[in-house]
Structure 1
Amino acid sequence: MPEDHESDERDERPSSDESNESPSPDESDEPPAEDPAAEFKFLGEGRGPSDFAFYVLKFLLSSWRLILLPRSVRNWLGARRDWLVVRRDVEYHRLRSSDRFHVPDDEVVRVGGLWLVEYFAPSQIAALGDAIKRNNWDMRAFESNTRLLSASRRGGGMSWWSIANIVNSSTGTFLPLPSYHQQKLPEGISRVHLSGVAIGDSLTAVVAWITLTDEGSASVNEVWHADHRAELVRDEDGRPYSEWGEFTAYRKTQQSRRHLHDQARRWFANSCPGAFAEADTPQPVLDLMLLDKLSPTTHQDRWSPDVDRGLQALGLRGSRREWTTSTSLPGLLLDRADTTSAPALPPNTWGLWGQSSNVIAQLSGGADRLQGSGPNPHTAVGHIYDEECRATVVRVGLTALLQTIEDKSAEQRDTARARHGKFRMRDLAVLREDILSLSLDLAGIERDVRLYNKQAARHGMEPRFVVSSPPWDPDEEVWDFSKRLRKRQIAEVSKLRAADGDYREVLSTAAALGSSIDAFRVQRRAINIAGAALFVAVLTLVGPGTALESLREWWDAAWSWVF
């Protein structure tokens, strides 16, 4: 038996060759990495200061003590308790590695430019003329902007023209030309090119093409790649809640993209205020975003959830069922910010995005086309596609303009009774002024939109976008996005004109009633004044010393006091 036991031990010992082999990672004796969140203690499970404060608040807000406390004290104590719970929850999610947001280090996004649009109807055209004079944009080599604007409003001018080039005095290179101007621009903006677009005789669009500095172009990428962890944030009512790292990345990255847009919007609204600035509505903006790795138009497989989350952080919809593309902008997708997936971006936000190398390769002439467009290839792509982007933002901006007019009309209709009192002429004059300006604007806009849409469809003045399905889901039908957008705009402006006609009829009736009421009031006051004058005359004819002397003196005193 002992011999058999020794032989068994010899058989179980590893050989010299086996003992020299390094163990595989799965067979190593190293303990697995511990999750720091595994031993985390939530509020009320430990004995720290926060736990003690939570116990005290819980004691005060329970049982009969809750009834004795005033409402304001209960609300204050409840808010402190909720804040402690949320803060401990944030600490827990910060320890969890699975709650962190990560973008591949080799994936980089750059903003190649911004395009904003503002519109000037008959009620705003004077503001455009004032902006041209105030900013000295009327200095041109051949013909002034004032004359070009007047010619376009008469139907005999150019379809579009360059208004001014504004160079940042601290970063840009200034050219001593009549159309170039130097001024302090917002941080991250290198140059602004303003161009006028004649929609028709009554509607003019001004497009601002924003060229960013290298820092401004890379600002979104820096936030995109930052280490985002859970944070304690507050809602609109001031209540705290725990925001996980992934949603913190969504919010901050979208806010960094919006920060560029808002800086450009503020400068545009202050320098050239139009319909959107008057309505205090963000101007439509189109930005060009170019990535290094992901190519949406050549990728054939469905994107992974990580890719979708990365695109959602940028405010893009990712693996959606519909792709909007144009042969005039190869390699790029047109995307509109969705308020559900991108709540930090306003609805008037549009983006063209794609892979930079793929977009450059599909340029006519390839990479050689970038020569002469600047050292930054991303802004150079924006320079090449400036005309297409300008036409695109004017097209999508018309829809936003009609929505703004509809909102303004609805506000005037809903607040007319409260604003204009009891049909007094003074109040009705304000109402007539509002309705008159809106009616004049709509009459011209309807005619111009119809004509502009026919010309765009007939002459190919703008890129034609079509909506199709992604490569991994080719079952969806293809439909013309641009054509449907034009039809929708014509239907919308026709609806606004019909509503305006009905509203003006109501205004005419109200004005007639107001005039009758005011005429009756004036007539009644005239009769009262005539009666008072007759009474005074009768008292004057009565001689002194009569019984009516005292009454006449009293009436004179009352008349002097009143008048």
Structure 2
Amino acid sequence: MANFTLEASVADRLNGELHKLHRAALIKREGRSSVSQGPRFVLYDRVQTARTALHHELRQWMGSNLPGAFARSKEVHPLFDLLFFEVAKHWSDDDAQSDKNDAPRACGVEVNSPFNIASDQLPGLQLHPPGRTEWAPKIAPNTWTLWGNSSAVPDLAVGTEDASVADAGYFVGEEMTDYFTRTGLTALLDQLRSNASIAYDNARELHGGTSSRDLKRLRDRTLTTSLDLARLEEDIETYNNQHWREREPQFHLDYTPAVKKLDAEAGRSAFERVDLNKSDRDRQKQLAKEIVAFDARYRDVLSTAASLGASLDARRAQRLATGVSLVSLGVALVTLWVTQETPPNLASLAGQIFDSLRWPT
């Protein structure tokens, strides 16, 4: 885990794009044709591109200096951003205006949801999990955002003489260390589960190979993965059984105050907020069980396939041995025939030999 304190010049990259005058332009998305978009959507595209470029730099540093499971698998590292805006409001707030939400929307933060995710330990902040690709197509997976208005800085940096954004960032980082760990662990389990289906194709390809290299790769992969998963399940159980939550703020998913007000006026039942920390722990246990169960089935299939493959190889060896015997017999007959002073009738000799080999009736 690493904590990056960004210089003001980094913020200027985003601010420069936010305040730049954008015109209509063609926007190209991966796997799609270029589409003409108006100035506002060009703004969103350019700011998200700038933010993603920064993320790429940070993840490259992690991969080079602190390589781990994500670097080995060439997946993006889990990453949390802390963003402060001058004015950013939920669409459901009474005085919210769409033009005031251009900054969070451009950064890939969804403000049009009737829900929010917040913690009492982090006043003034909301947590935005990895969102829909349609909403923020340029933001890479495994990217979380803690966001709020700059007015939240004094409450977060309490106890400091001159509350600054850097102080608030330090407080949030210290307060959420264990939550970062848990989120990274969930991302790792999701990655292992998504890779499980690929294992079938890899096993078929490698098991069908005849080279020693293919068999060695399959053996090493199966052995290493099985040991890692068995240990991972034990570690998750131990980690989740810890009762202290010193650096893991309690997050809840709940309706925004404005939506709650509408529900109360309409006489609808109050929404029961969701304990996201507990949901995450339950999900981790379930994912670990699914992956370990898959690994057991995977190894059973490989064992059966190996047994069948050994049977086929033995049958091929028997056929090869029979063929070699027949060739050797033919060579011996020719040699015997050539070395005789008066070569016998070869056809008659062969017939006598085959008659002697014939099964009795």
Does the residue aligned with 2:259 lie in a helix, a strand or coil?
A: coil
Provide the rounded CA distance (Å) in 1 between the counterparts of 2:8 and 2:100.
25
| 1:412 counterpart (169, 176, 199) | 199
Alpha-carbon shift at residue 248 of structure 1 (Å):
0.7
| Cross-structure match for 2:15 | 221
RMSD after superposition: 3.0
| 1:437 counterpart (219, 224, 235) | 224
| Cross-structure match for 1:240 | 34
Alpha-carbon shift at residue 481 of structure 1 (Å):
1.0
Indicate whether 1:394 and 2:196 are aligned. Answer: no
Alpha-carbon shift at residue 538 of structure 1 (Å):
6.0
Alpha-carbon shift at residue 523 of structure 1 (Å):
3.8
Alignment of 1:164-563 (within 5 A): 207-236=1-30, 239-294=33-88, 301=94, 303-338=96-131, 339-365=133-159, 367-368=160-161, 377-421=164-208, 427-455=214-242, 457-474=243-260, 475-533=270-328, 536=331, 544=339, 546=341
Does the residue aligned with 1:324 lie in a helix, a strand or coil?
A: strand
Where in structure 2 are there 5+ consecutive unaligned residues? Answer: 261-269, 347-361
Alpha-carbon shift at residue 238 of structure 1 (Å):
6.8
Provide the rounded CA distance (Å) in 2 between the counterparts of 1:466 and 1:224.
31
TM-score by length of 2: 0.81
Provide the rounded CA distance (Å) in 2 between the counterparts of 1:416 and 1:514.
13
Provide the rounded CA distance (Å) in 2 between the counterparts of 1:405 and 1:278.
12
Provide the rounded CA distance (Å) in 2 between the counterparts of 1:244 and 1:537.
88
Tell me how many residue pairs correspond in the alignment: 334
Residue identity matched to 1:514 = G
Residue identity matched to 1:208 = A
Q: Deviations over 1:16-63 (max 9, x none)?
A: xxxxxxxxxxxxxxxxxxxxxxxxxxxxxxxxxxxxxxxxxxxxxxxx
Q: Deviations over 1:92-133 (max 9, x none)?
A: xxxxxxxxxxxxxxxxxxxxxxxxxxxxxxxxxxxxxxxxxx
2:84–2:147 CA contact under 8 A, matched in 1:
yes
Residue identity matched to 2:253 = V
2:156–2:168 CA contact under 8 A, matched in 1:
no
Residue identity matched to 2:231 = G
Question: Which structure has more helix as a fraction of its residues?
Answer: 2
Alpha-carbon shift at residue 433 of structure 1 (Å):
3.1
Alpha-carbon shift at residue 273 of structure 1 (Å):
2.7
When residues 547 and 540 of structure 1 are mapped into structure 2, their CA distance, relative to the original with a 3 A threshold, is same
Does the residue aligned with 1:392 lie in a helix, a strand or coil?
A: helix
Post-superposition, which runs of at least 4 consecutive aligned residues in structure 1 deviate over 6 A? 422-426
Provide the rounded CA distance (Å) in 2 between the counterparts of 1:473 and 1:461.
30
Question: Which structure has more strand as a fraction of its residues?
Answer: 1
Alpha-carbon shift at residue 336 of structure 1 (Å):
1.7
Provide the rounded CA distance (Å) in 2 between the counterparts of 1:225 and 1:329.
29
Residue identity matched to 1:466 = H
TM-score by length of 1: 0.54
| Cross-structure match for 1:28 | none
Alpha-carbon shift at residue 423 of structure 1 (Å):
8.5
Provide the rounded CA distance (Å) in 2 between the counterparts of 1:454 and 1:239.
50
2:175–2:249 CA contact under 8 A, matched in 1:
yes
Provide the rounded CA distance (Å) in 1 between the counterparts of 2:6 and 2:342.
93
Provide the rounded CA distance (Å) in 2 between the counterparts of 1:462 and 1:479.
16
Provide the rounded CA distance (Å) in 2 between the counterparts of 1:257 and 1:302.
28
Residue identity matched to 2:142 = N
Provide the rounded CA distance (Å) in 2 between the counterparts of 1:547 and 1:303.
114
1:321–1:470 CA contact under 8 A, matched in 2:
yes
Alpha-carbon shift at residue 252 of structure 1 (Å):
0.9
Provide the rounded CA distance (Å) in 1 between the counterparts of 2:210 and 2:304.
10
Provide the rounded CA distance (Å) in 2 between the counterparts of 1:547 and 1:404.
79
Residue identity matched to 1:470 = T
Alignment of 1:144-159 (within 5 A): none
| Cross-structure match for 2:349 | none
